[in-house]
Structure 1
Amino acid sequence: MKSFFSLIIAVLGIVACTDQKPETTPKVKYVAIEGIDSSRNPGDNFFQYVNGIWYDSVSIPETQAGVGAYRFMNYPQRLRLQNLLDSVSQLDNAKGSIEQMVGDFYASGMDTAKINREGFQPIKPILAEIQTITNVSSLMTYVALQAKQQNNSIIGFYVGPDDKNSKINIAHAYQTGLGLPNRDYYFDKNSSTDGIQKAYKEYLATLFELSGTDTKAAEKMSEKVYDIEKQIAESHRTRVELRDVKANYNKFSVKDLNEMHPNIGWSKLLNSMGAETDSVDVGQPNYYENLNELLVSIPIENWKLFMKSSTLQNYADNLSKAFVDAEFAYTKVISGQAVQKTRGEKMASAVDNMLGEALGQLYVKKYFPESAKQRMLELLDNAQKAYANRIDQLEWMTDSTKVKAKEKLFAITKKIGYPDEWRDYSSVEITHDNYFSNIISASKAQYNYNLAKLNQAVDRKEWYTTPSTVTAYYNPSANEIVFPAGILQPPYFDYEADDALNYGGIGMVIGHELTHSFDDQGAQFDKEGNVNNWWTDADYKEFNARTQAVIDLYSSFTVLDTLHINGAMTVGENTADLSGLAVAYDAFKMTEQGQDTARIDGFTPDQRFFMSLARIWRVKMKEEYLRLWIKTNSHSPPMWRVNGPLMNIPGFYEAFDIKQGDKMYLAEEERVAVW
């Protein structure tokens, strides 16, 4: 069962707040904003005004579920990485180098002839271990040993900072055990979900067939596994419930856990996993209470089927073509993707996932100049100053809370491009001709890397994404914002372009990530990264009233037929979009161009700023993927990441003369502002 557990992060860096006008970097070029649909009224749908011509003419590649910016920029990124890997995998003089490591890993995965000849032979020893399971105790031993290879079946485990003592890493356990994206997919009743459930059951049956079971027996096995997953899903918290920081922190002694969950047997489990600890933060206690009961109420033979299914799913994409095709048949239904990704693209992703900082060294050397890093620091510093000014001007916040908010703001550590210290992969054994063993070795190394942090001081230099990934994040436990090299490219960032484009692009992302330190979750962490109340009761009540207004506004947006944005699930990201854009605009107005009115290609600086915002969320996706997004993604879909914030920004109304009667118009008293 593939589970996706997100970590979010942060660090300390003191910057002086000043009213002095910031210096601006001389600009080398102006970038034309093309494709504006002048037949549309910008006040009716600004996303379409800027992106409509592109949207109506672009085709989604058959191997993708969408096209454009944001996460879909990782598609051209993977092609870049593939070109790098094609090159280094053919080097003759790279023995013992990073190039050899990533090149051999890539080459082993590209040898599909060998992989297809092997079928499911590589996984047979693991499946044989399942057959030795005779009782709950031996079942949990298998679970523990597989967890050490990053195969989390029914125990979700990782090591990370303690929410209440962010200087120390502790053991965490979280809900897992599902093959479908989340619990709702097991209980929703509609034609879309019914089709996904059917495709998933067929996928499970196919995996059983491919591993030596006849068709009828495989179908029965699939139903039994699905039934177990559905029972597990009943105890899962919803995506909205998972946003509750305090409810998802529950630190228990191992002694107490042994008494609470005797069937799980925490002491033996943790010992088998190599985790020496006297306590565990159990994020979702109901899940483990339910699991403890299910371990004895479900026959052991059915649990063995579940473990076989879990293991086959975990490794399916690393086996022969028949397994890969089976996985894609299910993926196709849930995402709308028409054709499988090329093997080269898949392998670029695999190397990035397994050896990301090794590959990252090659990427930044070729694609990320030092001058880009310096330009980003200027943007970040200006955004912090603009944020501090906005805090000072808040009418609803008292002075004492403002002081603490600004202390936290200027304590945020800024990480740009790539880590200061690269990760050591010397424990990973990579060969040129055995892809499956490479996967196992890299997985074990990743587990051991994480485990070694247990009960140790938190390393504030650590990164939780690879340099080439198109993303950015804030981590409340470290109070840091991180911008890998992957996102520092057009349309987000061009270190030679004018301020309007950069502040409307990456500037908005900077403001967005800064706001995560003050969204519904981040606001519960202090400047050191601890869950600690730094608010007055009255101020926090005012803050919650404003985030509720964000929930209400976005819940009113209809995406498909009757499908609305889940305002409660997306409140953190929507708050970050709203306030992040306001901060970016204020920071832009501090620059020379922001205070000017000189037009470029007929557009004012303010207009270029807002058009740049619309370009960074220029995305078109399959309807199936959009439905998946609405159910599982904490962000609003791209169109609403443009139109939603703009409806609440006074500068936008002025720049494009938005009037009552325009579809995006909101009366001043209806506009939402948090920060």
Structure 2
Amino acid sequence: MLDSNWTGDDFDFVTSLARMRGLYGGMAVVSVTVEMDSFNTSSNVILLGQGLLQMRRESLLEENTTANKDAFLTHMRTSGAQMLLELGRDTEQALATLVEDSLAMWNFSVELAKITVPDSNLTDPWLTYNPTTIADLQVQCDQAAPGFKFDWLRFLQETFREAQVEVTGEERIVVEVPNYLTALMRVLKATPKRVLANYLLMQLVQGMADEVVAASREDHRKLNSQKDVKSFGRSSGRAWYDCAQKTNKILDMAVGYLYIKNRVGENVVHMAREVVENIKGAFRNMLTTASWMGSAREEALKKVDNMMMLVGYPDLLTNETSLEEYHSRLPKMSEQTHFENMMALSRWHSLRSLARLRKPVVRKGWARGPVETNAFYSTLQNSIIIPAAVLQPPIFRREPLTALNYGALGVVIGHEITHGFDNSGRERDHEGNLHEWWTAETDAEYASRSSCFADQYEAFSVSQILSPFERDGAEMKINGVASKGENIADNGGTRAAWLAYRSRVEATGERLRLPGLEGYSQDQLFFISFGQLWCSQFTPWSLRLLLSTDVHIPGAFRIKGVLQNLREFSHAFGCAANATFNPERKCVLW
């Protein structure tokens, strides 16, 4: 769009798309990833999915798109005009072409959004597992758009070339949404090369916007407003914070090595592992007493027993030789060339991810580094990761404060364990493979019990957590179906943490009283610690965004939903029958 006379005669869309993915990790139009095979988690496979859009799908499709369209076009024209100025090409003709190209890109983005399936429709692992070969995919796509050919074999060969991985037409691949790829062929056939070239390159420009001058960075943030709020309404970057976050994301193991060397003692990791094993044991007991599971209970117990608990940090970080080998092909960095550094690091990451295709699966692999204040469950590995950075107040304390530690870290651990049995995780067996191990009877019982959670959470009035002057009268609701997995994990995880806590206290005889909080019993402190986990604050805009894009619900309702279902909470605080936090109907899976 910076050249009015560009004809596209030498433009090869397949090669450009492949280079975008192979060298820069770009996921425009089509996403290419290497994942563990859902039917054989001992090997890796190529996964083809929908491409990432330039804006949220809803922003491109919702009825009132005028504001979004204006923001997009303004951003395109502003950034394009700046580049034309720097190139000395800011003629009247060039600016006019820029306007036309920007509108064409918007229209193309809308067409892509129309054929894209919402994320909420991609939660069923059976529906998104569609194995085929590259050759067979080619036949399907050729039939979908007669007279147009997207060469899938050449695309994937060029994508993997720099990673030194060879693929043939017989390569087994998994397609996430087959209808998207066939519909994409028709869209591409109807789209001029100029629009395709602009769309691909603008994806790259936008992806690297944070790495250039401050003016461009702020302009990009205004377009993609969902990235605005870093903390309590801050809409501009802080150099030290953004740089630290970026370094941890890109070089997570290197940062993790320094972190555990200077900040983490072996004792705290040992203490946390003990909590993990106790929660795992409590959840196992919950399954044992779940008589409604019938014969499926045996496989469920096997899955818990086989669940790997990765706590603290990977073994890699205790071996400097292995750490150096891990970073062996890391590009050289220069303090004078930040942009070039970031491009080189993008390439390093992208090629590493593609090279996994022919490498053995690492069962105990860490998808994230240890400097992450979160916890994760991998359905494919059947493993839980509890990073070292979580093992600090208010989540975990080194002192033997059982009620506080189990009410916080214990709940987090229980939440992740329960993900192995939520509406998505339950589809996989003890090795992470898709496997129908539920009987028809237990499947029906599970559906009935889990629907209780959907009904409960959808009944909450979300706007009540906003100040009265912030409410606009429009009711905001939780999507009980989309958030079901997280809500099941919250409830099962807290129940497991409670049982482990009570077992621990009974075994040790601990009697906890905290200075200034002597009026609260140990049991009450457990729930107070749990409540602190989800302490949060929202603006009306951020609340609507979370409800429409996140499977997690607002923190206040993560607390309320769980406590309404726990009789132990009502006993601890003496809630009257049918009080707000003690309704007669309680949702329980285990």
State the TM-score, normalizing by the size of structure 2.
0.87
* Deviation at residue 540 of structure 1 after TM alignment: 1.4
Compared CA separation, residues 574 and 211, structure 1 to 2 (3 A): same
Residue 211 (str. 1) matches residue 128 (str. 2): no
**Does the residue aligned with 2:292 lie in a helix, a strand or coil?**
coil
Determine which of 521, 542, 546 is the counterpart of 1:629: 546
Contact preservation (8 Å) 2:570, 2:581: no
Compared CA separation, residues 414 and 618, structure 1 to 2 (3 A): same
Amino acid at match of 2:442: D
* Deviation at residue 431 of structure 1 after TM alignment: 2.0
Residue-by-residue CA offset, 1:129-175 (whole Å, 9 max, x unaligned): x968437x701210101112112211201111000000001111111
Contact preservation (8 Å) 2:308, 2:364: no
2:174 aligned partner: 281
Amino acid at match of 1:648: N
Contact preservation (8 Å) 2:131, 2:175: yes
1:252 aligned partner: 132
* Deviation at residue 283 of structure 1 after TM alignment: 0.8
* Deviation at residue 404 of structure 1 after TM alignment: 1.3
Contact preservation (8 Å) 2:221, 2:228: no
1:199 aligned partner: 71
**Does the residue aligned with 2:150 lie in a helix, a strand or coil?**
coil
* Deviation at residue 186 of structure 1 after TM alignment: 2.0
2:353 aligned partner: 450
1:34 aligned partner: none
2:466 aligned partner: none
1:343 aligned partner: 239
Residue 492 (str. 1) matches residue 401 (str. 2): no
1:299 aligned partner: 192
Contact preservation (8 Å) 1:225, 1:309: no
1:18 aligned partner: none
- 4+ runs deviating over 6 angstroms: 593-597
- Report the Cα distance in structure 2 between the residues aligned to 1:205 and 1:618, rounded to whole angstroms: 41
2:580 aligned partner: 663
What is the correspondence of 1:1-400 to structure 2 with a 5 Å cutoff? Answer: 133-134=8-9, 138-148=12-22, 149-181=24-56, 183-189=57-63, 195-212=67-84, 217-262=97-142, 263-274=149-160, 275-277=165-167, 278-332=171-225, 335=228, 337-398=233-294, 400=295
1:639 aligned partner: 556
- Report the Cα distance in structure 2 between the residues aligned to 1:489 and 1:593, rounded to whole angstroms: 25
Residue-by-residue CA offset, 1:307-340 (whole Å, 9 max, x unaligned): 2321211111111122102112224477454431
Amino acid at match of 1:308: L
**Does the residue aligned with 1:474 lie in a helix, a strand or coil?**
strand
* Deviation at residue 478 of structure 1 after TM alignment: 0.7
- Report the Cα distance in structure 2 between the residues aligned to 1:646 and 1:194, rounded to whole angstroms: 43
Aligned-residue RMSD, C-alpha: 2.2
Contact preservation (8 Å) 1:333, 1:624: no
- Report the Cα distance in structure 2 between the residues aligned to 1:131 and 1:281, rounded to whole angstroms: 37
What is the correspondence of 1:577-592 to structure 2 with a 5 Å cutoff? Answer: 577-592=490-505
**Does the residue aligned with 1:240 lie in a helix, a strand or coil?**
helix
Greater Cα shift, 425-434 or 157-166? 425-434
Greater Cα shift, 162-171 or 309-318? 309-318
* Deviation at residue 630 of structure 1 after TM alignment: 1.1
**Does the residue aligned with 1:453 lie in a helix, a strand or coil?**
helix
1:405 aligned partner: 300
Contact preservation (8 Å) 2:407, 2:526: yes
Amino acid at match of 1:614: G
Contact preservation (8 Å) 1:596, 1:605: no
Determine which of 413, 428, 432 is the counterpart of 2:330: 428
Contact preservation (8 Å) 1:334, 1:628: no
Residue 555 (str. 1) matches residue 458 (str. 2): yes
Q: Identify which of structures 1 and 2 has the higher relative contact order when contacts are C-alpha pairs closer than 8 Å and 6+ apart.
A: 1
Contact preservation (8 Å) 1:210, 1:322: no
- Report the Cα distance in structure 1 between the residues aligned to 2:369 and 2:533, rounded to whole angstroms: 21
Residue-by-residue CA offset, 1:610-668 (whole Å, 9 max, x unaligned): 0001111112233322221111111111111111111101101111111245333311x
| Percentage of identical aligned residues | 27
Residue-by-residue CA offset, 1:248-294 (whole Å, 9 max, x unaligned): 11111010111122432110001111253312111112221121111
* Deviation at residue 672 of structure 1 after TM alignment: 0.4
Determine which of 484, 487, 501 is the counterpart of 1:571: 484
2:532 aligned partner: 615
**Does the residue aligned with 2:462 lie in a helix, a strand or coil?**
strand
Contact preservation (8 Å) 2:450, 2:589: yes
1:473 aligned partner: 376
Contact preservation (8 Å) 2:534, 2:559: yes
* Deviation at residue 360 of structure 1 after TM alignment: 1.2
Contact preservation (8 Å) 2:564, 2:580: no
Compared CA separation, residues 238 and 558, structure 1 to 2 (3 A): farther
2:311 aligned partner: 416
Residue-by-residue CA offset, 1:336-358 (whole Å, 9 max, x unaligned): 54431211211112211221111
- Report the Cα distance in structure 2 between the residues aligned to 1:196 and 1:415, rounded to whole angstroms: 43
Compared CA separation, residues 661 and 534, structure 1 to 2 (3 A): closer
Contact preservation (8 Å) 1:250, 1:283: yes
Contact preservation (8 Å) 2:384, 2:417: yes
Greater Cα shift, 504-513 or 299-308? 299-308
1:441 aligned partner: 344
**Does the residue aligned with 1:563 lie in a helix, a strand or coil?**
coil
Amino acid at match of 1:202: T
Contact preservation (8 Å) 1:500, 1:593: no
State the TM-score, normalizing by the size of structure 1.
0.77
**Does the residue aligned with 1:340 lie in a helix, a strand or coil?**
coil
**Does the residue aligned with 1:482 lie in a helix, a strand or coil?**
strand
Contact preservation (8 Å) 1:431, 1:438: yes
2:587 aligned partner: 672
Q: How many residues align?
A: 542
* Deviation at residue 377 of structure 1 after TM alignment: 1.0
